[in-house]
Amino acid sequence: MPSVNPPHSLKLLFVSTPVGPLGSGLGGGVELTLRNIATELQRRGHHLTILAPEGSDLGDLPIAQIPGELQPTAQTQGRQTPVTLSAHSVLANLWEVARSRQSEFDLICNFAYDWLPFYLTPFFQRPIAHLVSMGSLSDVMDEIIERVAIAFPGSIGVHSRAQAATFSFGDRCRCLFNGFDFGAYEFCETPDHTLAWVGRISPEKGLEDAVAASQKSGIPLKIFGYLQDKDYWHEIRETYPDAAIAYCGFLETKQLQRELGRSRALLVTPRWVEAFGNVVVEALACGVPAIAYRRGGPAEIVSDGETGWLVEPDSVEGLVEAISQLDRLDRRTCRDRAEGQFSVSAMGDRMEKWFYDLLGA
C-alpha cells in the first residue's frame, strides 16, 4: 500500500519504555505496541523518531539509541514503593534528549510506565501523549498520572476499559485498545493436539493454572515467553512433575505466530488486571481461539462463544470445561472478527485521531 500524506503529516517523537532494549522481550507488550504504531503511522506519511535504550532493534524504524542503566520493572514493586532512579539512568537520559530535541516535533508520545515523564510533562513546550501500558500498580504512579490527566485532559491513553477502571481517574483515560499487523500472522486451519500459553513467566501471569488445566485435560501445553522469574518456573515444574509441558523460549513474532498457530487454543490466565493482552490478538490472528479468565483486557478482546471462551477467574475447572467445548468454535471467525477491531489500520485511526485531538486542544 503506498504511503499517503494525511491532511497534515505530523513530526512525532516516540520515547520508549526504559526497562529493556526494544526487541529483547524485556519490554513486554510495549515493544510490539510501539513497533506496530510507529510502522503504521510512518506508512501513513507521518515522520517518526524513536528514542530507546541502547541495543534496541526495530528493523528499519528510525531509532536513536540512548545509553544508561535500565529501570527496574514497575510490576515487581509494591504499592508504597517510592520512585527509584539509578545513576546514569537511561530513563533520565531518554527524557533529557526528548527535552533538548522537542522543538523538532509536533508531539511526543511516551511509552514508559515511569514517574519521570509524567512529572516533566508541564515543563515541556510540546504536548506529550502518554500511552499507559499497565493498570494501577503504585500510589506514586497513580498520583502523578492523575495530575497529568487533570492538567492535560485527554493526554492519558490506555488499552482497555478494564485497565482504565483500575485507576480512580479511569473516566479521564482514553481507551485505544491496540493494533497488530495481521499480514504478519498466518492463518492455521488445522491445529495439532496442543494448547499454548504465551507471556512473561512471572507470578502475575498465572502460568500454574494453565499447566494444571493442561494436565487435567490431557492435552500437552507449549509455553512461550521471557523466563523472568526462574524460581517461579521451577516451583511450577516441581508442583506438576508429570505435566506434558514444553518451554519453547521467547520467540520474536514471525516464529511465535508459526508455532502458536498450530495450537488448538491459547490459555490466558492472568492473576492481575492485564491492561490489554497482545498475545490474545496474536493467537486469534492465527485462527487460534482464546480461553481466558474474565478479567482485564483479554475479557474485552475475546467474544465469548465466538472467538473463544471467557472463564470464571482463577477457576482451573472452568478452563478444563472450556477446553472440552473448543470444537464449537470456528477458527476462521477468530481471525476475521479480531482483524476488524485490532488491525494496525484500526489502531492507526485511533492513534491519529488521539494525536490530532491533542494538537487541536
The distance of closest approach from Cβ of residue 8 to ligand HBI in the complex, given in angstroms and rounded to an integer, is 30
Grid coordinates given for 348: 492507526
CB atoms within 10 A of CB 189: 8
Subset of residues 180 to 219 that bind ligand HBI, contact rule: CB under 6 A: none
Stretch that binds ligand HBI, among 68-76, 169-177, 184-192, 287-295 (CB under 6 A): 68-76
Please, which residue, 94 or 219, has the CB nearer to ligand HBI?
Answer: 94
Please, which residue, 112 or 284, has the CB nearer to ligand HBI?
Answer: 112
At residue 164, φ and ψ (nearest 5 deg) are: -60, -40
Please, which residue, 178 or 307, has the CB nearer to ligand HBI?
Answer: 178
Stretch that binds ligand HBI, among 107-115, 236-244, 259-267, 314-322 (CB under 6 A): 107-115
Q: Are 208 and 361 in contact (CB under 8 A)?
A: no
Q: Binding string to ligand HBI for residues 5 to 34, with x set by CB under 6 A, is what?
A: ------------xxx-------xxxx----
Rounded-to-integer distance, Cα 80 and Cα 51, Å: 29
Strands 308-311 and 107-110, how do they pair?
Answer: unpaired
Enclosing H/E stretch for 11: strand 11-15
Grid coordinates given for 29: 507488550
Please, which residue, 134 or 195, has the CB nearer to ligand HBI?
Answer: 134
Q: Binding string to ligand HBI for residues 147 to 186, with x set by CB under 6 A, is what?
A: ----------------------------------------
Q: Are 118 and 107 in contact (CB under 8 A)?
A: no
Grid coordinates given for 303: 467474544
Query: Binding to ligand HBI by residue 98, rule CB under 6 A?
Result: no
Query: Binding to ligand HBI by residue 273, rule CB under 6 A?
Result: no
Please, which residue, 131 or 290, has the CB nearer to ligand HBI?
Answer: 131
Q: In sequence order, what are the beta bridge partners of 223?
A: 197, 247
Grid coordinates given for 213: 488445566
Angle at 263 between CA 259 and CA 266, to 5 degrees: 105
265 three-state secondary structure: strand
Q: Binding string to ligand HBI for residues 116 to 135, with x set by CB under 6 A, is what?
A: -----------------xx-
The distance of closest approach from Cβ of residue 195 to ligand HBI in the complex, given in angstroms and rounded to an integer, is 24
Q: What are the residues binding ligand HBI (CB under 6 A)?
A: 17-19, 27-30, 71, 73-75, 112-114, 133-134
